[in-house]
Structure 1
Amino acid sequence: MKLNELRDAEGATHSRKRVGRGIGSGLGKTGGRGVKGQKSRSGVSINGFEGGQMPLYRRLPKRGFVNVFRGDYNEVSLGRIQAAIDAKKLDASKTIDTAALVEAGVIRRAKDGVRVLGNGELTAKITLEVAYATKSAIEKIEKAGGSVKLPEKAA
């Protein structure tokens, strides 16, 4: 392949619609906006607006509680960690933390931390340093001769 042969994949780029360029273009005159009215004008932002009537999202009761401090964690099973060790992507002799899991391709990107689940079997002796681990995961890791470091929870 040569530099002059490089091109985008088929269908990756679209030519821009040239609106309001004559009746023959199919998008002339009103430019695909219909006729008159607020939505035919520029600078319109009316999402959720109901013409002065109380909008639906304000008429309906709000229920429950949304915790804004709740973390978004990557969930990783022990079976997945063992598969990465077997494929020589993870080094079982070193401490396995979030950065090591990202580098090995076990998780795509680090969120607020890693939560280890007890699914699957673990045979390697590993040292895990994660945000959270289930009881079954901790049992399986300790049974295999490994250990888990969890952050200290503030009282």
Structure 2
Amino acid sequence: MKLTEIRDNEGATKPRMRIGRGIGSGKGKTGGRGGKGQTARSGYRNNGFEGGQMPVHRRLPKRGFNNPGARDLNEVNVGRLQQAVDAGRLDVSAPVTVEALVAAGVVSRVRDGVKILGVGELTAKLDLHVAGASKSALEAIERAGGTVTVLGAVAQA
């Protein structure tokens, strides 16, 4: 067998239809586009067009609000941090940052940061540098002797 002899199986491919090449071809004259009008022209694309009836996306009311300043945060419970410490994947002596949590496999990717939540027990003394923490998480971390530094926090005047 040679590279030049390789072929598809018989019937695996069909030759493309050459439209607009005379009436004898079966796809001549209008080339499969029907009669005249907007859809017969090239470049036509009108998703949601309902023949002049008010389209459904305009009949239905607008709903909700998309906050352009919303942050996409990873949420991590203190119990999950303790599991990572117990497994030896999280270093207690070094500050715990988003990058450290990604390296430990606690979160999959960085996103806009990490928020610590208070579900579970924490016994390890951790120095956390995160985007935020809930009140219950702050209490659990301080009870264990750790500290929390909130990154990018605006000082309240």
TM-score, normalised to structure 2, is 0.70
The aligned counterpart of 2:21 is: none
The reply on whether 1:63 has 2:37 as its aligned counterpart is: no
Deviation at 1:99, TM superposition (A): 0.3
The aligned counterpart of 1:6 is: none
The aligned counterpart of 1:52 is: 52
Letter in 1 for 2:110: A
Decide whether aligned partners of structure 1 residues 43 and 88 sit closer, same or farther in structure 2, where only a CA change above 3 A counts: farther
Decide whether aligned partners of structure 1 residues 134 and 19 sit closer, same or farther in structure 2, where only a CA change above 3 A counts: farther
How many Å separate the matches in 1 of 2:62 and 2:130? 35
Deviation at 1:66, TM superposition (A): 1.9
How many Å separate the matches in 2 of 1:86 and 1:106? 13
Equivalences for residues 80-119 of structure 1 within 5 A: 80-119=80-119
How many Å separate the matches in 2 of 1:62 and 1:45? 24
- 1:24-43 per-residue CA deviation (whole Å, 9 max, x = no partner) reads xxxxx99xxxx86699x996
Decide whether aligned partners of structure 1 residues 63 and 106 sit closer, same or farther in structure 2, where only a CA change above 3 A counts: same
How many Å separate the matches in 1 of 2:92 and 2:69? 33
- 1:116-153 per-residue CA deviation (whole Å, 9 max, x = no partner) reads 10001000000000001000000000000000000221
What fraction of aligned residue pairs are identical, expressed as a percent? 55
TM-score, normalised to structure 1, is 0.71
How many Å separate the matches in 2 of 1:140 and 1:81? 12
Deviation at 1:46, TM superposition (A): 4.0
Structure 2 runs not aligned, ≥5 long: 1-11, 18-25
Deviation at 1:62, TM superposition (A): 1.0
The aligned counterpart of 1:153 is: 154
How many Å separate the matches in 2 of 1:48 and 1:76? 42
Decide whether aligned partners of structure 1 residues 92 and 63 sit closer, same or farther in structure 2, where only a CA change above 3 A counts: same
Decide whether aligned partners of structure 1 residues 66 and 19 sit closer, same or farther in structure 2, where only a CA change above 3 A counts: farther
The reply on whether 1:122 has 2:118 as its aligned counterpart is: no
- 1:79-130 per-residue CA deviation (whole Å, 9 max, x = no partner) reads 1111011000000111001000001111101111101100010000000000
Q: Which range moved further: 56-65 or 129-138?
A: 56-65
The aligned counterpart of 1:75 is: 75
Decide whether aligned partners of structure 1 residues 20 and 59 sit closer, same or farther in structure 2, where only a CA change above 3 A counts: farther
Select the structure of larger CA radius of gyration.
2
